[in-house]
Amino acid sequence: MKKILVTGADGFIGSHLAELLTQNGFQVKALCQYNSFNSWGWLDTSPLAKEMEIVSGDVRDPFFCKTISKDIDVIFHLAALIAIPFSYHAPQSYVETNVTGTLNICQAALENDISQVIHTSTSEVYGTAQYVPIDENHPLQAQSPYSASKIAADAMAVSYFNAFQLPITIARPFNTYGPRQSARAVIPSIITQIANGAEVLKLGDLAPTRDFNYVEDTCNAFISLLNKTNILGETINLGSNSEISISDTVKKIITLMNKNVTIEQDEQRLRPKNSEVFRLLCDNTKLKEKTGFEHSVTIDAGLQKTIEWFTNPDNLRQYKANIYNI
């Protein structure tokens, strides 16, 4: 049985991935960010938490990273600051967590002879599509401090493969959605506003398109990268090869929730002009060829599952839908 370290296991994608790996029979060490509340984030309520080894700490500390990665076979590195709007306010914290944190994980993996590292990137590094679908050779464009930090983190990961032969792969998910996602993201923002009785939805720009992926598909795509020697040192897009505008996504959610609402543009939700990513559409050919993975959850089915989770009163009360969360 492989022992797998998942960094960022307290977060949205990380908690789902840690659970799915556990269900698939792997021995999981789940890293949650240290805090004085002794909270494990979304793993606090996970029925599978008791089957994991959960540790609290911070990837910004190189000594800690070396300690927790001892006797580990594989590292899924997801720990990161990801909120784009907050990166405008606190860019240095993104460099410290995303770039230095990745450096620390790579160095720890090298020193502890880890057999495989899967580093998490983001489709935001591509910026607005210069051509579609976006393959792994698309130019990288730093349109926000967040995307700049992830470009740098990806480069750090590749450097460890080239300089030290660290067996690392860059997994580059496109827009993931589903249960537990932060309300700073557009789909949870829409659902929680409607679920809390809003008659006017406050949203940002509705024109951009996204390649939305249900979290279960994203996590299964991650797992498909395990034990693949033909992807070491490479970047793999994790996307569905389909796109939908934010406007059409809103319409789908309104229809599925059977509510009559109007939409109002909220200026604080708009990105600076040159920072908005207007189009994302994944070319997932490489993923299919290297792993055989196929997405299985349609946008309609995924939205319905997401709505059902968010409208559960126990889940909904964890969100402050009346506050714009940057």
Residues 109 and 242: their CA atoms lie apart, in Å, by: 35
Token pair in block for residue 86: 């907050």
Task: Note down pLDDT in tens along the chain; length 326 residues.
Answer: 799 999 999 999 999 999 999 999 999 999 999 999 999 999 999 999 999 999 999 999 999 999 999 999 999 999 999 999 999 999 999 999 999 999 999 999 999 999 999 999 999 999 999 999 999 999 999 999 999 999 999 999 999 999 999 999 999 999 999 999 999 999 999 999 999 999 999 999 999 999 999 999 999 999 999 999 999 999 999 999 999 999 999 999 999 999 999 999 989 999 998 999 999 999 999 999 999 999 999 999 999 999 999 999 999 999 988 788 77
User: What was the pLDDT predicted at 324?
Assistant: 84
Residues 72 and 94: their CA atoms lie apart, in Å, by: 26
Cβ atoms of 103 and 44 closer than 8 Å: no
Token pair in block for residue 149: 């930090």
Q: Where are the beta strands (DSSP E) in the chain?
A: 3-7, 27-33, 53-57, 74-77, 116-120, 168-173, 176-177, 200-203, 209-210, 213-214, 235-238, 244-245, 262-265
User: What was the pLDDT predicted at 323?
Assistant: 83
Residue extents of the structural domains in the chain: 3-176+213-238, 178-210+242-280+298-316
User: What was the pLDDT predicted at 132?
Assistant: 98
User: What was the pLDDT predicted at 85?
Assistant: 94
User: What was the pLDDT predicted at 242?
Assistant: 97
User: What was the pLDDT predicted at 14?
Assistant: 98
Token pair in block for residue 131: 């051509």
Q: Tell me which CATH code domain 3-176+213-238 carries.
A: 3.40.50.720
Residues 12 and 42: their CA atoms lie apart, in Å, by: 7
| Size of the chain, expressed as the number of residues it contains | 326
Residues 275 and 160: their CA atoms lie apart, in Å, by: 29
137 CB-near residues (< 8 Å, 6+ apart): none
Q: 178-210+242-280+298-316: CATH homologous superfamily?
A: UDP-galactose 4-epimerase, domain 1 (3.90.25.10)
Q: Where are the beta strands (DSSP E) in 142-260?
A: 168-173, 176-177, 200-203, 209-210, 213-214, 235-238, 244-245
Cβ atoms of 116 and 74 closer than 8 Å: yes
